[in-house]
Structure 1
Amino acid sequence: MPQIAKFFGVLALLASLVAPAGAAELVDRVVAVVNGNLITLFDVNTRVADMVKQTQGVALRPDDPRLDDLRRQVLESMITDMLIESEANKLKVTVSDTEIDSQIEEIKKKNNLSQQQFVTELAKEGLTLKQFRDKMRLDSIKKRLLGFMVHRKVLVTDDEIRDYYEKNKGSLSAAKSVLGPKVSGGLGFIMVPNKKQAEELRDKINSGSMSFADAAKKFSIGPGRDQGGDLGDVQIKDLAPPLRSALSAVPPGQVSEPVLLDGKAVLLVQRTASAPAEKPAAPAVAAGSNPSYEAAKEQIQELLYKQKFDKLFQEYIDNLRSKAVVEVKL
């Protein structure tokens, strides 16, 4: 979310937090009420202290305006978290510690990292392990809430990826962040203009007269067309409910019934070991050189997906807040 980026921008200016208990401005009081639930100044200062306790250097005075700005940003984040938690509880949306552990282990495995190496990589990106786990949990809940409430999956088209590459190829890096989405569950995806065409393609694929990959390359107007409909690694649980239901109704390796999505028809297939994705390996990129389109495509897709996802999520949160009773007193 936009506030998170601001947090670390402000933190870059901070060295350590000095907050004498006797300072008048730090006397505990209610600073926000969200649907009758209270957030106190003590709660905010505790969160701020957690964020800056790893920093070192010149002390920040309690009356420094940067500290007030940081408190306000933290408070806004806490209000948003409270709205998310309330809506998640209402819809019974949860993400267990076991799920988070599993996602972290998958990231470590795919990046060939030990636990200590993983923690070190997080530190390079300004995160502690606890912050990363909290971020993963919030991101997972965000995705599930969007799936439940918006009923559609954010899509990034090949044209959008190509356009971004042409405009930004001079500034793209071949390096990948360890925080990138590295999850299991290969997904095949075909999008066509109408349900009738989708049903005809499904019949051809099921009869063996055409492969899923060939159908995607020839007819799909959605993402992954050039890769035979391969969307790469996608968690099935993160799909919108209509897509998830269609996919769960057929065995892995078989094509789903057509699903209407944004006025178009979608066919899905969950990849299996006997039906690998037809995706060529990206060419190696020499150190210091700009990556090729194929080498940068996945990175750009993840970036554009996140941008669209964050925008849609923010709109959803704004809608939640408009319906909530929120009073800010800071």
Structure 2
Amino acid sequence: MYKKIINIFLLIFIFLLIFIHRGYSVEIVDRIVAVVDGEIITLVDLNKRLAPYLEKFKGKELSDNDKILIMKLKRKVLNDMIDDILIKNLAKKYKINVSDLEIKNYINNFRTRNNLTTEELKQQLKLEGMTYEEFYNKVRDDILRHRIITALVKRKVLVTEKEIKSYYEEHKKEYKKNKKVCLKIILLPSYGKAKEIYQEIQSNIDFETAAKRYSIGPNAQNGGDLGCLEYSDLNSKWKEVLDKLKAGEISRPFEYGDKGVILKLVNIQSGILESLDKVKNKIRQKLYAKKFEKLFKEFLNNLRKKAVIEIKL
């Protein structure tokens, strides 16, 4: 009898240990990472939103640079989630709503554009780790966000003819049709490594030797030669870097994604200047986007100033 009682107490003790351990695990796995005007964001919420950004790190041994990049991504995504809550709360304040009919119409149009049945859409969402209900709510939030931004930000953005003409005069080299740049590249695993190799080029070796020795990019054994590329096809960051160079000069290292880059401008092939009338709409869109970004940042900053936000990441 005594032995039976001991066994019962032992089983209870083991059960309590398991229960406590499970409770502790849940605390580690899920916790509050931010509170926005009384609304919480959990670590599980954050990780779910972060998941698509972390696909490229799956099965990879993380370097220190990877860990820094992931932390930056976490902070950016968390800030986006905070902004979403602030915008939704603003919509409630102004009684701006999105009807079920609008959401269904949006989803139907989305399915039509992508040639998907409802079942196929659900299967696709499942592969991406999202339920149909979550997708439905996301569509609602996206429409709501667009409506708020249109009402309170976009209507304030104005681009004048004078601004368009002034931009054209100052940036004529951007509007040369068939302009080409002949380039060489040194692509490196990180920005830190690029800075190190740049110093070596400045003191010890030439660009081509450094490319053969260190570059992980294309045509490394040929000095990183990329040939001649259409200027209009280049990434805006590359244009910004190349616009500071003359033929034969080497750029300072810069970040491109999670890599480090050094460029050599071998030659420039000038094109034909397009007229203002032909490029006016492009310039208007560019200036509009720039002004909108500035106003949107100010809009979000004002929302944040008025809100009670506690970040615990």
Q: Which TM bucket (shorter chain)? A: 0.3 to 0.5
Larger gyration radius, structure 1 or structure 2: 2
Counting helix residues as a fraction of each chain, which structure ranks higher? Answer: 2
TM-score by length of 2: 0.45
TM-score by length of 1: 0.43
